[in-house]
């Protein structure tokens, strides 16, 4: 079974292999990572972990040790011996952190139960590769009105993907900042003679500071709330404009 969260397009999006106990699913539902769009592939036993991982090639593996039992240790050992899977980051929630720590590599994460959802989200942001989330980006230089607290400022887009945009901004906002934005995208069916207004709640997922060499300062944002019709307009524009 594959579960989709806010999937507005048929594109390559991150895959998380998960044993959905210990409140891990609840933590994921609060995460910007999931709202951007992730494919969750549940597993029900440790025995199926290596085969399922080989089949779906996950970007991250999120596990409940007690749910999977003692068979988890040999399953993880099999993963770490597989050259194609040994570098996939793993997060394990467990009542026995010291025991499970020896089952994974130094770069993996072991979380003691009860699981703190904020800690899960922090580690997801750290371990899950960002570049695959947004899909293809295409240039779009149009004004964007941003509501930053009490301020209403007009800035300019640099490019757009189906899941978010990059906004030129002299002083980049910190990751996790949310704000409402409004901009227009041309309708490719009408040859660009008609535009659709897009209003979305955005969350900063990338900061580019003015002192970053050779980069345009601004923020990459993900849509965390957008009308499905408007999301469809964005998707059609990106699909038509992508090389």
Query: What are the mean pLDDT values of the chain's consecutive 10-residue runs (243 residues total)?
Result: 35 69 56 56 89 87 90 93 88 90 89 82 73 67 95 95 90 86 92 88 82 74 87 89 80
- 7 and 121: one domain? yes
**Structure tokens given for 242:** 């992508």
Whether 132 is covered by a domain: the verdict is: no
- 11 and 91: one domain? yes
Whether 171 is covered by a domain: the verdict is: yes
- 122 and 164: one domain? no
- 143 and 72: one domain? no
State residue 183's pLDDT score: 98
- 108 and 151: one domain? no
Bridge partners, residue 148, by sequence: 151
Whether 133 is covered by a domain: the verdict is: no
- 90 and 157: one domain? no
- 170 and 91: one domain? no
Domain holding 191, by residue range, is 138-241
Number of domains in the chain: 2
Whether 91 is covered by a domain: the verdict is: yes
- 118 and 142: one domain? no
- 121 and 157: one domain? no
Backbone dihedral angles phi then psi of residue 85, each to the nearest 5 degrees: -115, -10
State residue 3's pLDDT score: 35
- 66 and 120: one domain? yes
Write down which residue in 127, 151, 185 finishes a domain. 127
- CATH label of the domain that carries residue 116: 3.40.50.2300
- 29 and 109: one domain? yes
DSSP secondary structure letters along 149-163: TTEEEEEEEEEEETT
- 122 and 146: one domain? no
Give the predicted TM-score (pTM) of the model. Answer: 0.50
Dihedral class, residue 41 (left if φ above 0, else alpha if ψ from -120 to 50, else beta): beta
Write down which residue in 75, 107, 127 finishes a domain. 127
CB atoms within 10 A of CB 114: 10
């Amino acid at each position: 079974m594959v579960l989709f969260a806010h999937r507005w397009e048929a594109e390559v999006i991150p895959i998380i292999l998960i044993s959905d106990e210990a409140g891990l699913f609840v933590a994921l539902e609060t995460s910007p990572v999931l709202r951007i769009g992730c494919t969750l592939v549940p597993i029900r036993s440790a025995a199926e972990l290596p085969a399922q991982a080989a089949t779906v090639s996950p970007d991250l593996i999120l596990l409940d040790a007690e749910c999977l039992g003692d068979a988890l240790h040999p399953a993880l050992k099999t993963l770490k011996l597989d050259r194609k899977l040994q570098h996939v980051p793993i997060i394990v929630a467990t009542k026995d952190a010291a025991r499970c720590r020896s089952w994974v590599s130094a770069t993996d994460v072991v979380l003691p139960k009860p699981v703190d959802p904020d800690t899960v989200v922090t580690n997801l942001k750290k371990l899950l590769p960002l570049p695959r989330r947004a899909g293809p980006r295409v240039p779009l230089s149009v004004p964007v009105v941003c509501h930053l607290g009490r301020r209403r400022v007009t800035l300019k887009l640099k490019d757009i993907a189906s899941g978010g945009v990059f906004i030129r901004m002299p002083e980049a906002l910190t990751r996790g900042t949310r704000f409402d934005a409004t901009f227009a995208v041309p309708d490719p069916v009408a040859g660009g003679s008609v535009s659709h207004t897009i209003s979305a709640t955005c969350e900063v997922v990338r900061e580019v500071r003015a002192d970053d060499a050779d980069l345009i300062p601004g923020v990459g944002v993900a849509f965390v709330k957008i009308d499905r019709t408007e999301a469809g307009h964005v998707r059609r524009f990106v699909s038509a404009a992508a090389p």
